[in-house]
Structure 1
Amino acid sequence: MSNQSVTVVFAHGAWADESSWRKVVDLLHSKGIKAVTFRLPLSSLADDVAALERTLEHVDGPVVLAGHAYAGAVIASTGNAKVRALVYIAALAPDQGETVADVFYRNAHDDRAPKLAPDSEGWIWLPTEAFGTAFAQNATPEEQKALAAAQRPISPACITVPVAKPLWRSVPAWYLLAEQDHMIPEKTQRFMAERMNAHISAHPIDHLPSVSAPELVEKVITDAVRASDR
């Protein structure tokens, strides 16, 4: 097995950016695994898939795609033949004909979940206090402040469009299930992961384990890389 042949491409979710993957990227690099991050515009699902396709165009060889939260819908919307596996990090996985909102609201959220609504210009922002109570409650206060300062809003056009046949129907998937997630209920995550027949790892982690539990994220991704590189 040679890790050199597979590249991991990371897609961030809403209210985050590509820097949210930095700790995981460093861990993969320490193992000799190539990794690429890129920025999603979060302006529409089509725009985000186009950004992913542009990134994949510049990657040589087989790819493992990793997506967090909303980006689970993005990584499953490519048909690029380079993709060998999908890794979902507390991520959403709508099936054909479903929207991201359909699966996000499939089960009731707990009382820590923030209230979400578009602003006067049509963008959905995460309330600042939610970074410490629901989004990344296991991160340090400094990390929570940095995440809030760098947050990127999402457009309803990302979450209200039915998806086509998802790639997880034809390539293997791994799922890191966050049992302390106050953004996407654990029950919802388990439903999606089981529907995909994903390799499931469940841990008492928050919604953003790439920051608060990067070793667990790295392990799931490394497992997918090893399986894809046989």
Structure 2
Amino acid sequence: MIRSLAAMTLATFATFATDSVAVAAPPKSPVSIVLVHGAFVDASGWKAVYDKLTSDGYEVLVVQNSTETLEGDVNATQRAIAAAKNPVVLVGHSYGGMVITQAGADPKVRTLVYIAAFAPDVGESVESLSANPPPNTTPPPIVAKDGFLRLDETKFPGQFAQDVPIATTRFLAAAQVPWGQAALTAKVTTAAWKSKPTYYVLTVNDMIVPPVAQRQMAQRASAKIIEVKSSHAAMLAQPAAVAAAIETAAQ
């Protein structure tokens, strides 16, 4: 249910990276990369990843979702896919995994990349995927009001992005975009990972989407798993590792 849900991304212009990362080779053929954020935040959380990918020569499109409904977010992502100049590597973080699972059925999408994300099967929602969390996990600090969801601002820094500077996470907590409860309960009608090459960046220090749950979803999707020592906020804590994983998927 809502209290056991685990889905959110982040938005910030600051980054904090610690692990060294191997640099991927240039793509064998031109591809475009479409980045899809998740709940509570906007697309600016991809800033550091975007900078790295564009500096390496990729066309990168960043989707700005309202996160009010899954249908609306899928539509926004489909417009970005249509605008891409090349075959698409479609990337989703957290709730963004719901979006790319549906939108990724587009024939222009070549590969899927999930970043600490929900990877649903047909008929599943964030709510259903979160209904039975693994033992000994702390539920995300969700606050529901008037059909929208937020994270408890006091708990956001220590649970969402514990390896990101506190000044950044305090701002993210204060600047949250309310997440529509309708997006939480919406079910996907197709699962693109069943027919597309799939990669999964598993964040081993995640306190929002438990790593055990991430691994189960990744294995079900037959995804190539890339483990990163990061909180849920992988694009902030380890942007170089996230970019490298995306470039690997782009080969």
Tell me if both proteins adopt one fold, taking TM over 0.5 as the criterion. yes
- Displacement of 1:112 in angstroms is 4.7
Cα offsets for 1:132-180 (capped at 9, x unmatched): 1111111111221232233212111112122112101110111010111
Counterpart CA distance in 1 for 2:59 and 2:28 is 8
Which residue number in structure 2 is paired with residue 48 of structure 1?
Answer: 73
Distance 1:141 1:3, change over 3 A: farther
Normalising by structure 2, what TM-score? Answer: 0.85
Matches of 2:35 and 2:194 in 1, distance apart? 20
RMSD of aligned Cα (Å): 1.7
For 1:17 and 1:109, locate their aligned partners in 2 and report how far apart those are by CA, in whole Å.
31
Question: Identity over the aligned pairs, expressed in percent?
Answer: 35
Matched-pair contact (CA < 8 Å) for 2:141–2:155: no
- 1:116 maps to 142
**Match for 1:93: what amino acid?**
A
Q: How far is the alpha carbon of 1:110 from its aligned partner?
A: 5.0
Tell me, in whole angstroms, the C-alpha distance in 2 between the residues paired with 1:212 and 1:3: 29
* Residues 48, 235 of structure 2: 8 Å contact kept: yes
The match for 2:133 is 107
- 1:73-112 maps to which residues of 2 (within 5 A)? 73-78=98-103, 79-108=105-134, 110=136, 112=138
Contact 1:109 1:183 survives alignment (8 Å)? no
Which blocks of at least 5 consecutive residues in structure 2 are unaligned?
Answer: 1-25
Q: Indicate the residue corresponding to 2:167 in structure 1.
A: 142
| Equivalence for 2:85 | 60
TM-score, scaled to structure 1: 0.92
| Partner residue in 1 for 2:153 | 128
The 3-state SS of whatever aligns with 1:118 is strand
Note the C-alpha offset of 1:210. 0.2
Question: Contact 1:113–1:134 (CA<8 Å) still a contact in 2?
Answer: no
Secondary structure in 2 matching 1:20: helix
1:1-230 matches, within 5 Å, as 2=27, 5-78=30-103, 79-108=105-134, 110=136, 112-119=138-145, 121-226=146-251
Gapped runs of 5+ residues in structure 1? Answer: none
CA distance in 1, matches of 2:106, 2:66: 20
